[in-house]
């Protein structure tokens, strides 16, 4: 590379890592198209990539992970702060000293015979004052090519790093891929990440969850902004009015789908623009509004369930230049997953013929695609806007088969923060462990908040202290089920019916019913035109079950009490008020 970095601390760090890990050679990545092509060719030769059908899917490749390395491993993910309390009950903790010692022992000599890649990257538009850079050192080409799609990577980022001096250091190695030798360590006080033993997305693409959320949230707190697990969308009405919304749902709970929603026929003239599908960095603007940028440049999306019917925008971006991880393939080498609704698979995600593995899923339930955001038909140039887009609404949500209504609105910012903090959701295949178990996942950040949740809620509450035009806060639930286990609400494109109500509330165009848990739509304000859902079913989805909510509140309170003295005092006032209303 032609940049003079000889005496820079980056070079010193790279040399230290080289000494520790002992690679055969070191390659600085420049992020060019040619480099990407060279790396994919190398991966095809090594077997890391399998070519998919280049007629139907030009530039598309399949990567098969090691079978027990297909999801985030939360029990092996640590936040290492000097004070245990700073990491909070929401994180696994080790002291920085223990953390470094444990993980460095695994890194010692781990790159012998391998190439070490130095990957400078920028999270956020290159010219944005809100963007932050990092450097990931890795021995995985799969990581390098994914980082190329997911971030602004290479020379452009290096230039910014040399100007700004500050950057997040991320050291990664696949190690031996054994789960017993896996650790994902964060040192927020040093702006450092060390991850070994996994090649999977959130464990290995360090710009994403490790930097943009865990380290990012820690930095955001001290600098007065928010790093959130949120999609960002722009909803354009037939009159051409644009409203920007950010929404936090836990992993595999519908962010990508909502971010690129295509409205049904009865919503002619409505259009959704995708600004981001997973992470939002949110800053207060001079006008008192909150502005959001998407720090990423691509999508690392869930494959199963993606189809022409559920997410046609995703389908349109996946027929070229995409990486597929752990999906099945058809006889003619096209990617295949459950819910695709076309094609016949012959091999499953492990590469076994289907007869060898009867009754098992073809694609792994957490199989993924990686693709540049620019390939999405609902892509908007606003994704490059250095100042971001102004938010009118923030939505929280989770996967709740019962009780939680389709939508409700918080009564104030503080109540909204409490609603976010009280989110519960059923676990999914995005992380290892049991699927379908209800757990508390405040702001969809349980696995991603880099510091004590109580301090984090306090930080959220502080935004109300400044002169501001804060977004309204809502809660949605697309996942209510019948006793037979079928989803009641049709979801996907039909979710625009709920967004329409949310926008009308933000613009003061519609009344709502006040209930103990918040404002709920009058049934006639959720359009049923063109919808196959009975009035009674919709009523059921909008009803507040007082007895059920009392139990829910008890469970929320028990959870929040585990944060002890650090819990914002306004939370108990809010809880008491809701409880009194529920009992009235």
**Residues with catalytic annotation?**
253
Q: How far is 516 from 524, CA to CA, in rounded Å? A: 20
- Mark the segment that binds Mn ion (CB under 5 A) among 64-72, 250-258, 490-498, 519-527: 250-258
Given candidates 57, 72, 172, 221, which one binds ligand SPV under the rule CB under 6 A?
72
269: left (phi over 0), alpha (psi -120 to 50) or beta: left
281 phi, psi to nearest 5 deg: -105, 120
* 553 and 516 Cβ atoms separated by less than 8 Å: no
Question: Nearer to ligand SPV by C-beta: 430 or 560?
Answer: 430
**Under rule CB under 6 A, residue 251 binds ligand SPV:** yes
Residues of this chain, 262-291, that bind ligand SPV according to CB under 6 A = 278
CA angle 460, 464, 470 (to 5 degrees): 90
Least Å distance, CB 295 to ligand GTP, is 14
**Under rule CB under 6 A, residue 158 binds ligand SPV:** no
Three-state secondary-structure class, residue 492: helix
Question: Nearer to ligand GTP by C-beta: 81 or 311?
Answer: 311
Q: Around 387, how many Cα atoms within 13 Å sit in the side-chain half-sphere? A: 8
Question: Nearer to ligand GTP by C-beta: 111 or 407?
Answer: 407
**Under rule CB under 6 A, residue 208 binds ligand SPV:** yes
Cβ within 8 Å of residue 449, ≥6 positions away: 88, 90, 91, 213, 214, 217, 442, 443, 456
Question: Nearer to ligand GTP by C-beta: 151 or 495?
Answer: 495
* 349 and 326 Cβ atoms separated by less than 8 Å: yes
**Under rule CB under 6 A, residue 300 binds ligand SPV:** yes
Question: Nearer to ligand SPV by C-beta: 252 or 330?
Answer: 252
Number of residues forming the site for ligand SPV (CB under 6 A): 9
Q: How far is 532 from 522, CA to CA, in rounded Å? A: 19
Three-state secondary-structure class, residue 450: coil
Least Å distance, CB 40 to ligand SPV, is 21
Least Å distance, CB 458 to ligand SPV, is 24
Given candidates 251, 311, 348, 515, which one binds Mn ion under the rule CB under 5 A?
251
346 phi, psi to nearest 5 deg: -120, -25
Residues of this chain, 467-526, that bind ligand SPV according to CB under 6 A = none
Question: Nearer to ligand GTP by C-beta: 255 or 411?
Answer: 255
191 phi, psi to nearest 5 deg: 50, 50
Least Å distance, CB 252 to ligand GTP, is 4
**Under rule CB under 6 A, residue 369 binds ligand SPV:** no
* 234 and 243 Cβ atoms separated by less than 8 Å: yes
Q: How far is 551 from 143, CA to CA, in rounded Å? A: 45
**Under rule CB under 6 A, residue 201 binds ligand SPV:** yes
**Under rule CB under 6 A, residue 172 binds ligand SPV:** no
- Mark the segment that binds ligand SPV (CB under 6 A) among 112-120, 139-147, 200-208, 347-355: 200-208
Q: Residue length, the chain?
A: 584
Q: How far is 84 from 77, CA to CA, in rounded Å? A: 15
Binding site for ligand GTP (CB under 6 A): 249, 251-257, 277-278, 301-302, 304-305, 310, 430, 478-479, 487, 491-492, 495
Question: Nearer to ligand SPV by C-beta: 267 or 281?
Answer: 281
Q: Using the 8-state DSSP alphabet, how is residue 207 labeled?
A: I
Least Å distance, CB 229 to Mn ion, is 6
* 115 and 27 Cβ atoms separated by less than 8 Å: yes
Strands 152-153 and 115-123: antiparallel
Number of residues forming the site for Mn ion (CB under 5 A): 2
- Look at residues 433, 447, 301, 441 and name the one whose alpha carbon lies nearest to residue 376: 301
Cβ within 8 Å of residue 240, ≥6 positions away: none
Least Å distance, CB 279 to Mn ion, is 8
**Under rule CB under 6 A, residue 124 binds ligand SPV:** no
Site string for Mn ion, 252-281 (x = CB under 5 A): --------------------------x---
Binding at 491: pick from ligand SPV, Mn ion, ligand GTP, none (beta carbon under 5-8 Å per type): ligand GTP
Distances (CA, A) of 243 to 373, 397, 463, 542: 20, 19, 21, 24
Question: Nearer to ligand GTP by C-beta: 16 or 487?
Answer: 487
- Look at residues 28, 56, 51, 53 and name the one whose alpha carbon lies nearest to residue 41: 51
Distances (CA, A) of 273 to 56, 393, 547: 27, 15, 40
Given candidates 194, 209, 221, 364, which one binds ligand SPV under the rule CB under 6 A?
209
Q: Using the 8-state DSSP alphabet, how is residue 504 labeled?
A: H
Least Å distance, CB 430 to ligand SPV, is 4
Given candidates 202, 254, 263, 518, which one binds ligand SPV under the rule CB under 6 A?
202
Question: Nearer to Mn ion by C-beta: 209 or 505?
Answer: 209
Return residues touching ligand SPV (CB under 6 A): 72, 201-202, 208-209, 251, 278, 300, 430
**Which residues would be at the binding site for Mn ion (CB under 5 A)?**
251, 278
């Amino acid at each position: 590379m032609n940049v003079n970095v000889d005496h820079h601390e980056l070079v010193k760090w790279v040399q230290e890592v080289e000494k520790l890990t002992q690679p055969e050679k070191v390659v600085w990545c420049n992020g060019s198209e040619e480099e990407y092509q060279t790396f994919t060719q190398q991966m095809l030769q090594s077997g890391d990539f399998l070519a998919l059908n280049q007629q139907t899917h030009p530039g598309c490749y399949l990567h098969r992970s090691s079978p027990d390395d297909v999801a985030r491993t939360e029990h092996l993910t640590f936040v290492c702060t000097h004070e245990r309390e700073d990491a909070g009950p929401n994180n696994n903790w080790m002291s920085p000293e223990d953390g470094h010692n444990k993980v460095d022992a695994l890194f010692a000599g781990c790159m012998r015979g391998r190439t070490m890649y130095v990957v400078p990257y920028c999270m956020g538009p290159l010219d944005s004052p809100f963007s932050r850079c990092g450097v990931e050192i890795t021995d995985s080409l799969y990581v390098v090519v994914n980082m190329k799609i997911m971030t602004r990577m290479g020379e452009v980022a290096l230039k910014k790093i040399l100007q700004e001096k500050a950057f997040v250091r991320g050291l990664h190695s696949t190690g031996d891929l054994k789960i017993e030798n896996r650790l994902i360590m964060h040192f927020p006080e040093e702006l450092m990440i060390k991850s070994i033993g996994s090649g999977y997305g959130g464990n290995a693409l360090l710009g994403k969850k490790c930097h943009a959320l865990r380290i990012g949230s820690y930095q955001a707190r001290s600098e007065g902004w928010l790093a959130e697990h949120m999609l960002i969308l722009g909803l354009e009405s037939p009159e051409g009015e644009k409203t920007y919304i950010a929404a936090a749902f836990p992993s595999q709970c519908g962010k990508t789908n909502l971010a690129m929603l295509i409205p049904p026929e009865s919503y002619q003239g409505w259009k959704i623009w995708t600004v981001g599908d997973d992470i939002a960095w949110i800053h207060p603007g001079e006008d008192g509004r909150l502005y959001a940028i998407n720090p990423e440049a691509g999508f690392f999306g869930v494959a199963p369930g993606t189809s022409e019917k559920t997410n046609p925008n995703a389908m349109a971006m996946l027929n070229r230049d995409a990486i597929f991880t752990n999906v099945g393939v058809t006889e003619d080498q096209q990617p295949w997953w459950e819910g695709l609704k076309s094609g016949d698979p012959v091999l499953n995600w492990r590469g076994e013929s289907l007869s060898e593995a009867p009754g098992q899923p073809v694609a792994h339930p957490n199989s993924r695609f990686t693709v540049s955001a620019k390939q999405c038909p609902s892509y908007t140039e606003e994704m490059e806007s250095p100042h971001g887009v102004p938010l009118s609404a923030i939505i929280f949500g989770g996967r709740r088969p019962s009780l939680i209504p389709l939508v409700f609105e918080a009564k104030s910012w503080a109540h909204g923060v409490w609603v976010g903090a009280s989110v519960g959701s059923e676990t999914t295949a995005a992380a290892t462990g049991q699927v379908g178990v209800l757990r508390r996942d405040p702001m969809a950040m349980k696995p991603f908040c880099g510091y004590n949740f109580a301090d984090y809620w306090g930080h959220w509450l502080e935004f109300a202290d400044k002169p501001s035009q804060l977004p309204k806060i809502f809660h949605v639930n697309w996942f209510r089920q019948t006793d037979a286990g079928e989803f009641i609400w049709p979801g996907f494109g039909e979710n625009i019916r709920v967004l329409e109500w949310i926008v009308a509330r933000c613009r003061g165009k519609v009344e709502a019913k006040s209930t103990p848990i918040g404002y709920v739509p009058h049934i006639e304000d959720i359009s049923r035109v063109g919808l196959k859902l009975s009035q009674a079913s919709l009523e059921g989805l909008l009803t507040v079950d007082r007895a059920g909510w009392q139990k829910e509140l008890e469970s929320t309170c028990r959870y929040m009490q585990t944060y002890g003295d650090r819990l914002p005092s306004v939370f108990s006032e809010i809880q008491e008020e809701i409880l009194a209303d529920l009992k009235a």
